[in-house]
Structure 1
């Protein structure tokens, strides 16, 4: 609109106005459509002659005030912009032609009323649409994911029930093997059978434990002394680790407190230490540390083991269930099932912590971070 007016030297054009170039299609301006807006203009001759004021389309601004506003704008380097007069915003644009400069001022009040009206309607329709969408989502999402929830529940029930059912034949097999040893003596076959029974029993126990963790068990969360728990686990597994030919290094700062379940934290440390011992290089080192974080605001549990080929494995996949780097499963007898680290991750998350796996300087490290507590915290 300012372009149309300034191109006509501040006068209202006669008839239909030529469409102006714009990214968004504009309305077709006519003399009637332009007459609804309030504007005024000033023309300054280059020869310092008297300024010509056109205030036919404005009532709230006097000619003297128009001259003062125009002189203030004329002294600026910008060819267009905004000025405020008596709490009303006027957009202006100036154009220099042969021998004179024309400045047109347009009252934005009517334009802003329309703009805010559009914004209000848009927000209202957007809010209504959001409410309708949320209502539809709540009503139909439960129905949509119901089969998935039922399938997951059946899967958990199957794992738990199958685990209990499998323990009975395993117990019978183990008893028959022991009876065979009593009758005919221990042999390579009976020893192998007992080892596989123990291995399968351990796998079933892990599967059942993992299923129970997924079923949102009731954790007895309270402020516990994890230093004592960590020492207890370390003392119990130290002989096993050393018996496997590994060097064991422990560093536990006393009286470290976090919010956790004592039994599940014991399980967490046991899983990480057992995993480190299984995959440690021969004559390698297994490390366990429980240290405070920065400013004693965190408790950091770190379990490491030597692993020369660690640069060939993807440490980011260690927490995937049943993940094994050896695709052919041709691992040693001590190799795990790919379940323990997934359980460890779930336990850490239940305690509000985070756990990551890293490889550096020939060692794989599992680092669990928890928020520190004091003995006074409940």
Structure 2
């Protein structure tokens, strides 16, 4: 139980930090891409409005200090200007060395009739382009985005590496110090178990005295409805105390002898023990048990698991209903599954998510006469988890099914 709480604490805390880091890093990356895109757009507009040349006056790029001509020389670009008839009247390739003049002319002709602004990929390089028509002249400017995007990509890589490293370091530190962080929970859990165990032992003595006194009264005055009621309540309290103590010890993960057991034989024994009891109540008892299926478990505790599920099915089965036990596996004898089902007409609107909570009982008219403490199913789930399995419950066509799957 403590290890489960510790793992959950580490996972939840790490996930929370991961969400925060993702949001922060995502914002940084998004802002970087936005600023780079705005810078590209501003430079393109500046060059296009000056017929593909660097303006003589300083200009502001993305709200920064005004750039002079030297500042704009950092960008790699080329431009072509057409007249109204489509003839090239100017070609500027002084700021690019990787694209030939003939290639520039071909690109310009291709993009002269396309959308005014966009991106193109040419010879392994991404170019942003913009077309502006002014005073009868159409200028197309192509700007190499490699330098700008390289800065952004560097920010992305650095932010990602720092984020992953921070998350890994946080998870490591959390794993190292989580034991101290949940120490109050551990102490509270330990005190609770000690209290249950000690109280259970202390209560057994007065119960034994009450039982002896009740028997003495019966010997002197004869049996009456009052002594019978006392006897029933004494048995009920004794069962409750035993269940509570067993549950507390089970949470402490007692030493179990986990070996390969013949689970089919254990389930058959449990089914035979309950058959007479079920049929005496006027219910049908159906079993389908595949022989010689084995799982890794403690034989005694596995038998207790089967007893809990079958007893629960018999207890809450409808009058004249049916109790079914199925124990099967795949053709390769993998994933053996125990299914215990019973008729339960009032189970359509029941919240089955609460069935494995301690002391939970579905308080409907169907259950008012049923004896129990709401502990058995919690113990069953704990046992299945100990055996590396999974216990679920669902309702279908008037039947409630408890399904325990094992590896």
Find 2:393's aligned residue among 345, 351, 357.
357
Aligned in 2, Cα 1:141/1:112: closer, same or farther, shift over 3 Å?
same
TM-superposed deviation, 1:344:
0.9
TM-superposed deviation, 1:342:
0.8
Which SS does the other structure have where 2:357 is aligned? coil
Say yes or no: does 1:219 pair with 2:219: no
- What is the match of residue 214 of structure 2? 177
Say yes or no: does 1:210 pair with 2:252: no
Find 2:108's aligned residue among 42, 65, 70.
70
What TM-score do the two structures reach when normalised by structure 1?
0.84
Could you list the runs of 5+ residues in structure 1 that have no partner in the other structure?
20-24, 372-378
Say yes or no: does 1:279 pair with 2:316: yes
Find 1:84's aligned residue among 122, 145, 156.
122
Which SS does the other structure have where 1:304 is aligned? strand
Aligned in 2, Cα 1:353/1:74: closer, same or farther, shift over 3 Å?
farther
- What is the match of residue 374 of structure 2? 338
More helix by share: 2
**How far apart in 2 are the matches of 1:18 and 1:199?**
86
Superposed CA offset, 1:104-157 (max 9, x none): 122223213322332344235435543564466456543332111100111011
Say yes or no: does 1:164 pair with 2:164: no
Tell which deviates more after alignment, 165-174 or 68-77.
68-77
Find 1:308's aligned residue among 342, 345, 359.
345
Superposed CA offset, 1:180-233 (max 9, x none): 434444333332222222111111111111112211223333333221111100
Which SS does the other structure have where 1:14 is aligned? coil
Question: Matches of residues 128-167 of structure 1 in structure 2 within 5 Å?
Answer: 129-130=166-167, 133-134=170-171, 137-138=174-175, 141-167=178-204
TM-superposed deviation, 1:18:
6.0
- What is the match of residue 375 of structure 1? none
Count of residues paired in the alignment: 364
- What is the match of residue 22 of structure 1? none
**How far apart in 2 are the matches of 1:67 and 1:106?**
15
Say yes or no: does 1:37 pair with 2:85: no
- Asked if 1 retains the 8 angstrom alpha-carbon contact of 2:119 and 2:126, the reply is no
Which SS does the other structure have where 2:368 is aligned? coil
The alignment's C-alpha RMSD in Å is: 3.0
TM-superposed deviation, 1:164:
1.9
TM-superposed deviation, 1:159:
1.0
Tell which deviates more after alignment, 226-235 or 48-57.
48-57
Aligned in 2, Cα 1:293/1:109: closer, same or farther, shift over 3 Å?
same
- Asked if 1 retains the 8 angstrom alpha-carbon contact of 2:287 and 2:325, the reply is yes
- What is the match of residue 238 of structure 2? 201
What TM-score do the two structures reach when normalised by structure 2?
0.79
- Asked if 1 retains the 8 angstrom alpha-carbon contact of 2:116 and 2:132, the reply is no
TM-superposed deviation, 1:336:
0.8
- What is the match of residue 374 of structure 1? none
- Asked if 1 retains the 8 angstrom alpha-carbon contact of 2:80 and 2:88, the reply is no
